[in-house]
Amino acid sequence: MDADALIVNLFEGVAQPGGAAGVVDRALDGAITQLITAGEIKGKTGELTLVHSLGKIPASRVIVAGLGKESQFNVDAIRRVSAEASRFARSRGARRVATIVHGGGAGGIDAERAAQAITEGAILGLYRFRRHMSKEPENGDVQETLIVERDEAKRSQLEKGCAMGTVVAGAVASARDMINEPANFMTPGTMADIARDLARDGGLGLTVLERAQMRELGMGGLLGVSQGSHQDPKFIVLSYRGDPGSEKALGLVGKGITFDSGGISLKPSEDMGDMKGDMAGGATVMAVMRAVGRLKPAVNVTAIVPATENLPGGSALKPGDVITAMSGKTIEIISTDAEGRLVLADALSYAVKNGLAPLVDVATLTGAVRVALGDVTVGLFSNNEEFAGRVMAAAAEAGERMWQMPMFEEYREQNKSDVADIKNTGGRYGGAITAAQFVGEFAGDVPWVHLDIAGTSLTGKEKGHVVKGATGGGVRTLINLVMGLAAAPAQGR
C-alpha cells in the first residue's frame, strides 16, 4: 500500500499507542511514543501531528490524529477526525491518503458504521466550491482515500459502510453545491432542471407545475411571492415508490426561495448576498431524493419544492394585501419578508391534498430561530410527539443537533388577523414559534415536523466535516429518517 499520508489515531492520556497505531509506531522505531513522551502529542481533540516515515513504511508521512477522551468518543468524532485529518493531508500536498479504522479498536464501534463515518468525513471535509474561480487551488485535491484493516473478516462490513457513506456524503455535497451557487445561476428554472436530472438518474417521478397550473390549483402564496420577479416560479414534485403495495408516502417539503430580498419589506443590504441560500430547504429535500434514488429503500417518498425569487418589482406583493392559499385559507400580508411561510402554505396544502403523510418541511424560515438557538442547533416544531421523536432520533444518529420547541396554543393567538383568516407574521416575540404555528395551519391533523434551519444552513468557519459556506445540514438526518421508515414494520410507517 503506497500512500502520500497514513492517518492513525490516539486517545488522550495514552502513553503508548496500541492496535494499528502501535504497529505503525513500531515500524517507525517508536517515533510516535517518543513524541508522546516529549509532550508533543497529547491525543487531544483536534490535535494533528505530522511524522515523516523516512521510507520505513510505504506511506511517506504519518498523521497522528487526537481522538480526545475515550469516554466521550462516538461516531461523530470519527467523522470529525476523518475530515480534519484529510484536510491536513491535503494541505501537505497528499493525493493518496490511507487511514486506519478509527473507533474499530478501543472505540468499540462496529466496522460498517466506522467506515461510513470515515467516508462521510473525508468527502465532506475535503469539499470545496470553486465553480466560479479561474485560479487553481494552492493545494490540489486528494484523489483517493484508502481504509486499511488487517482483519479480512471485516472487509464486507467496511465495503458496505464505504458505499453508504459515499452516497450520503454525495447527497450532502449536492445540497451544498446548490446552496453555494449564486442566485443568477441558481434560479427556480435551474432547480427544476436539476430535478429533471435527479429523476432521470434515480428513476424518480417528476412533475413541474408552471404558473398557469398554479393558478388552476389556487396557489396564491407561491404566485403572490413570485409577482415581483421576472423569473417564472416552479412547483417541483419528485416522487419515489419503493413500496408499491402501499398507498402511504412520506412527504418532504423544502422552501425554495432562490433569492430573498425581502420584497417590498426590503432587507438591509448588509449580508443580503447570503440570501442566495434561502432555498436551502429545497436543496435539502432534493439531495435526500438523490440518495433515495441510489439506495432504493422499501418506502414511498415524495419531495415538494415551491421555488421562486422574492423581489420588489412593480407588481410585487405589498404589506396589507390579502391572498388566498391553495387550501382556501386567506392570509393578510404584514411583511413581504415573511414569504417562506406563504410558499410552504401552498406546498403543504398540496401534500395534504395528495395524501402524503407524515410530513417534514425544511426551511430557512426565521431569523428568530437563530436568536434562540444560534448557529449550532436546528429548531424542530411538531404537532405529533411520536413522529417528532423519530426525527430527533434520526438527527441524533446523524450527529446533527436539533431541539424541539414549544407549540402551545397561546402562540396561535399572535397570528390572528382582523381582515383575513390569518396573518403572515405574529410579531417580534416568539417569532420562530409563531412562524411554525402559521405553517402548521396548512398541515392540519397530518403528523408533521417543521425544521427551521435558518441558523445552521450556512457557516463562516471550518469545523470537522463542516466547511465554510453551505453546510448541507439536515440531509443526513432525513436520509436516516427515510431508511428507518423503510426498515420499520409496515404498521409503523
Active site residues: 267, 341
Q: Which three cell numbers stand for residue 187?
A: 434560479
* Among 141, 151, 1, residue whose Cα is nearest residue 62: 1
Q: How far apart are CA 487 and CA 397, in angstroms?
A: 15
Only one residue has cell 468557519, namely 461
**Length of the chain as a residue count:** 493
Could you tell me where the DSSP H helices lie in 296-407? Answer: 340-353, 367-373, 385-398
Only one residue has cell 411520536, namely 386
Q: How far apart are CA 209 and CA 148, in angstroms?
A: 49
Amino acid at 262: G
Give the three-state DSSP class for 138.
coil
DSSP 8-state class, residue 3: B
Which secondary-structure segment (H or E) carries 122? helix 111-125
Q: Which residues contact 287 (CB under 8 A, 6 or more apart)?
A: 171, 172, 174, 175, 178, 472, 475
Q: Which three cell numbers stand for residue 379?
A: 429548531
Q: How far apart are CA 211 and CA 236, in angstroms?
A: 12
Which secondary-structure segment (H or E) carries 157? helix 155-180
Task: Say if CB 82 and CB 92 are below 8 A apart.
Answer: no
Q: Which residues contact 385 (CB under 8 A, 6 or more apart)?
A: none
For 235-282, give the DSSP string.
EEEEEEES-TT----EEEEE-EEEEE--TTSPPPSTTGGGGGGTTHHH
Only one residue has cell 433569492, namely 259
Task: Say if CB 350 and CB 247 are below 8 A apart.
Answer: no
* Among 219, 200, 201, residue whose Cα is nearest residue 210: 219
* Strand 322-324 with 144-148, pairing: unpaired
Exposed/middle/buried for residue 288 (C-beta within 10 Å: 0-12, 13-18, 19+) = buried
